[in-house]
Structure 1
Amino acid sequence: MNSKFNQQLELLKATPGALTGINRGIERESLRVASNGQLAQTPHPESLGKALTHSTITTDFAESLLEFITPVSTATSVLFEQLQDIHHYTVKNLGQEQLWPMSMPCYCADEEQIELAQYGTSNIGKMKTTYREGLKNRYGSMMQIISGVHYNFSLPQQFWQLKQAPGMSEQDKASAGYMALVRNFYRFGWVIPYLFGASPALCSSFLQGKKSSLPFEALGKGTVYLPYATSLRLSDLGYTNSSQADLCVSYNALDSYLHSVEKAVNAHSLAFEKIGVKENGQYKQLNANMLQIENELYAPIRPKRVTFANEKPRHALAARGIEYIEVRSLDVNPFAAVGITPLQSYFLDVFLTWCALKPSAEFDPSRCNEYKGNFTKVVLEGRKPGITLEISREELTIPQWGEKLMLEWREVAAMLDRDNNTQSFSAALTELAPSFADPELTLSGQLLKELKSLEIDNGEFAIKLSNQYKQELASGSYQYWTEDDFTQFRVESMIKQQAIESADQVGFDEFLTQYFAKK
């Protein structure tokens, strides 16, 4: 083990409670589909409230792409009770529609069937829809109806107090620590798609007749797959952006990160200029820059800070520092009714805490392609026997990396268990450890095994799961909230949206001018 890592562990061992009070939150995306598995063509249900202002139920790119958001929780059990309740309430209010249980979309014959999410008549609501219009015109709609799970994570203040950084404020220490975490995530974040990638196959309608250089194999009536893939969602086919490949985002410090993001947001794009910004009075995108807004920067992890009304994310970070990180590389788990399991949460807590403890040298730009290359190799062929990954000039097979990393992860898990009066963190590692030696135990391995053994399409299997989960979720009971709570959430969302719409004092054009004038 690394001596500096050992020093950090010894500090933790001598400071009981330093890992008590970790904050977690989950954002789960899921398409609304008809009972036959085709994309729902109905508006966002009124019974779910207003997507612009609802505290737990909103939409992402498309009107049919639901997003469920839990509050921040310090207890994993509470976190999943809340997520279960949101799903329970939603399925009870979907009528004949269901939730799609996979990351890659259902059958969609034509991109024109995908309606952009609508957020009302306010300026901020129009801006959200216009941003999505820009995504549609830049990258196409099919990529935007892919679903994922985002995991929000922050370490307690007492953890950062262990960091030796004379002359730095507590917040600056935390911000520097989170940037170090992010760098280690880029080095070792391939373990997330390896273990939890669950999109080795997709419906051929997703390709819309486009040719791909990937060596796809066919299954069933219309499924294509890669034999050793873990997460096609994270490949160039999925929720990535090849046009951003040359963007140089710095993760060595918060200031340099913000500077590089601001540069990307303000960099003019000749390719996007050809689309046009406004035509016949209708916006085609917010602007012709490389990124319309920061959210367009596709990354597997982001440093975050809760924003004020109409505040840009980078301004919030610059003013108040990093509050938490958002992991964006999780596929929807098709074997879980709510898209993610407590086991995954416990592992993520161990892994992210380890990323914060592990010494994290600044990035050498010449080695950035190494980290991207490892990630790409794992998402396309991570279960292939004998493949190797090189990290910081050390090249090992995935089983070898797993064995090596587990030694340090178990030390971290023991500290998390101690400070949270549980054995769940260590138990999660015990359950997942064999997956490094046997890739068929991973989620992608399990899914492909099911499809091949049943000889059915990806979509047919998803419909079967969707039916099963709808019955399970609808017949369950509330664990944390009540029906009255969700009624109140819905009413509050309607009142808040109406207030926002009534408060607008300028037209949409002027609103955008003022918004982008704030550098």
Structure 2
Amino acid sequence: MNQDISERLALLSETDISRTLQPLQRGIEKESLRIDAAGSLSRKPHPKGLGSALTHPAITTDFAENLVEFITPVSSNIDDSLSLLTDVHKFALSNMPDEQFWPMSMPCYVDGEQTIQPAQYGTSNIAQMKTLYRKGLHLRYGSMMQIISGVHYNFSMPDEFWPEWQRIKDQMDMSADEFRSHSYMGLLRNYYRYAWLIPYLFGASPALCSSFIKGKESVLPFKKVGQGTLYLPYATSLRLSDLGYTNSSQSELYVCHNSLEDYVKCLQKAISTPSKEYDSLGLKNAQGEYQQLNTNVLQIENELYSPIRPKRVAKSGETPTQALRRGGIEYIEVRSLDVNPFSPIGIDKLTIAFVDLLLCMCLFEDSGPRDQDDQQRAKDNLMKVVLEGRKPGLMLTRKAGEESLQSWALDIFDRLEPIAKMLDRDQKTPIYQQALHAQRRKAQHSNLTPSGRILERLLSSGEDNGKFGIELAQNYRNLLSSIPYGANTEDYWNSVAAESYVQQQAIEKSDDVSFEDFLKDYFERNQQPFTG
């Protein structure tokens, strides 16, 4: 480990760890497709008993009406987050008696794009904008790639950490907000360099239903198992490949992460730069109805695919970049986790603990500027691991030259060891050291990774991915239905659902401008100069 980092960690270990490190803040956003008993996509609207998708704090929708998104509040306790995530799954299932949740990232049994309807949020201007944005995604890229599920992990350091870290780094010439944003941007740059590690360790989509690419050409050398499951022998996360969330039309778009100001300016430029390709599709259809928010390279910030994002909770009506300009970075959103099919809620405690560890390391270690060569190396390494991460002897590229995946992973784990011990100090269970030990074993034995376990099951049984997924979905429905609520009661969730409709109606009644004027004002605010 770099001597400077060792010295900094030693100084940090002298602080009150219970205040500065152990209360790491986290929130989880987990997506799940609603399916019928046969495994086909649900064609029913968002269940009314779940509340308003616009205003419910814990249950909403992502791209489609049948793509539910569960959201946990910020918490410093891993068990509390998992308990609440379990509760919302249980409550949702109680309101959809004829359906269940698909337990994997890649969907199955997709009977054409006509079965995928953009999510609906009501009649207010903000609701119309959310639906129109999704219509624009459909127009630009098709709906199929938008219904791939994932887990987004929101992470932040406790407030008490920052003054101590700023003193240790001896960067007192910055304001507290400037130092926090500067540090988080360094975390982002380091994370991109190590981003390949996440799909190797937690990727769980090495196979997919052939219906997903029906009628489309693919250069990937897929093999077949069962009646219609396609797979790559060493793949880890097809969700992160060009078949998934990544957007080939954005491949030439360079977003700088060397400062928050540069990052915001790059996004503002993409949102305001016209695209000939998207202009040719038309802002409105033949009936004069909007079919995308605008014809620029990006409609809004969220259209940019990235495995990690700097974030701040936006005020009502604020754009994401406007929120960052106002107050700097508040938290980090990791977006590259697959849904874990071996968990009834898609994520487990050891995964959370390891991601905490990796993000802490990315924050603690120095991070030099990230140029386009650095960006290309990171992208190439990620795609190698996504498509063939479990291939024996796979070589990745570092700035100094090539190194095997296994060797690089073990080097990272060695650097994580002192951080894990520091986070586990005075805790009843050494969860961070346990998480690190579990990932070390995966680096040494690729068959222990989720992708390896899935392919071993499919190839040994000769069954389809769909059959395996349906079996898991049914088992998880039975399990979640049988256990008691942990964090809250069913009456509580019913009251939250009812209150969400009241809030939606209040928003609809408060609109006092036309939708055209609403959009104009929204995009004008996006172009305000950076003042952070």
Interval of TM-score (by shorter of Structure 1 and Structure 2): over 0.9
For the pair 1:261 / 2:267, whether they are aligned, the reply is: yes
Distance 1:168 1:56 in 2: 36
Secondary structure class of the residue paired with 1:332:
coil
Residue of structure 2 equivalent to 1:484: 491
**Amino acid aligned to 2:396:** L
> Aligned match of 1:73 in 72, 75, 79?
75
Residue of structure 2 equivalent to 1:222: 228
> Aligned match of 1:364 in 357, 371, 380?
371
**Does the CA-based 8 Å contact 1:12-1:415 persist in structure 2?**
no
TM-score when normalising by structure 1 = 0.99
Secondary structure class of the residue paired with 2:481:
helix
For the pair 1:90 / 2:92, whether they are aligned, the reply is: yes
Structure 1 window deviating more from structure 2 (122-131 vs 391-400): it is 391-400
> Aligned match of 2:31 in 29, 32, 41?
29
**Amino acid aligned to 2:235:** A
Cα distance, 1:15 vs structure 2 = 1.4
Cα distance, 1:288 vs structure 2 = 0.3
Change (3 A) 1:334 1:390: same
Secondary structure class of the residue paired with 1:151:
strand
Cα distance, 1:11 vs structure 2 = 1.6
Secondary structure class of the residue paired with 2:160:
helix
Residue of structure 2 equivalent to 1:2: 2
Residue of structure 1 equivalent to 2:53: 51
Secondary structure class of the residue paired with 2:424:
helix
Distance 1:65 1:6 in 2: 45
Q: Which segments of 5 or more consecutive residues in structure 2 lack a partner in the other structure?
A: 528-532
Residue of structure 2 equivalent to 1:340: 347
Counterparts of 1:284-433 in structure 2 under 5 Å? 284-418=291-425, 422-433=429-440
Cα distance, 1:365 vs structure 2 = 2.3
Secondary structure class of the residue paired with 1:28:
strand
Distance 2:183 2:11 in 1: 16
> Aligned match of 1:232 in 222, 238, 241?
238
Distance 1:514 1:82 in 2: 37
Residue of structure 2 equivalent to 1:173: 179
Residue of structure 1 equivalent to 2:258: 252
Secondary structure class of the residue paired with 1:282:
coil
Secondary structure class of the residue paired with 1:339:
coil
**Amino acid aligned to 1:196:** F
Secondary structure class of the residue paired with 1:11:
helix
Residues 292-312 of structure 1: CA distance to partner in whole angstroms, max 9, x if unpaired? 000101000000000011100
**Does the CA-based 8 Å contact 1:19-1:420 persist in structure 2?**
no
Secondary structure class of the residue paired with 1:440:
helix
Distance 2:416 2:428 in 1: 18
Cα distance, 1:420 vs structure 2 = 5.1
Distance 2:202 2:130 in 1: 30
Secondary structure class of the residue paired with 2:425:
helix
Cα distance, 1:20 vs structure 2 = 2.6
**Does the CA-based 8 Å contact 1:19-1:419 persist in structure 2?**
no
Distance 2:172 2:377 in 1: 33
**Does the CA-based 8 Å contact 1:20-1:419 persist in structure 2?**
no
Change (3 A) 1:300 1:419: farther
Secondary structure class of the residue paired with 1:488:
helix
**Does the CA-based 8 Å contact 1:50-1:493 persist in structure 2?**
yes
Counterparts of 1:87-166 in structure 2 under 5 Å? 87-161=89-163, 162-163=165-166, 164-166=170-172
Cα distance, 1:197 vs structure 2 = 0.4
Cα distance, 1:421 vs structure 2 = 5.3
> Aligned match of 1:460 in 449, 462, 467?
467
Residues 457-506 of structure 1: CA distance to partner in whole angstroms, max 9, x if unpaired? 11110000000000001111111111121011101110100000000112
Secondary structure class of the residue paired with 2:333:
strand
Residues 120-159 of structure 1: CA distance to partner in whole angstroms, max 9, x if unpaired? 0111000000000000000000000100000000011232
Distance 1:400 1:95 in 2: 49
Give identity over the alignment, percent: 51
Residue of structure 2 equivalent to 1:499: 506
Residue of structure 2 equivalent to 1:471: 478
Cα distance, 1:398 vs structure 2 = 1.3
Distance 1:171 1:157 in 2: 11
Residue of structure 2 equivalent to 1:11: 11
Secondary structure class of the residue paired with 1:224:
strand
TM-score when normalising by structure 2 = 0.96
Q: Which segments of 5 or more consecutive residues in structure 1 lack a partner in the other structure?
A: none
Number of residue pairs the alignment of both structures matches: 519
**Amino acid aligned to 1:266:** S
Distance 2:438 2:445 in 1: 12
Residues 151-209 of structure 1: CA distance to partner in whole angstroms, max 9, x if unpaired? 00001123222232122111111111110000000000111100000000000000022
Residue of structure 2 equivalent to 1:445: 452
Distance 2:69 2:32 in 1: 6
Secondary structure class of the residue paired with 1:52:
coil
Residue of structure 2 equivalent to 1:273: 279
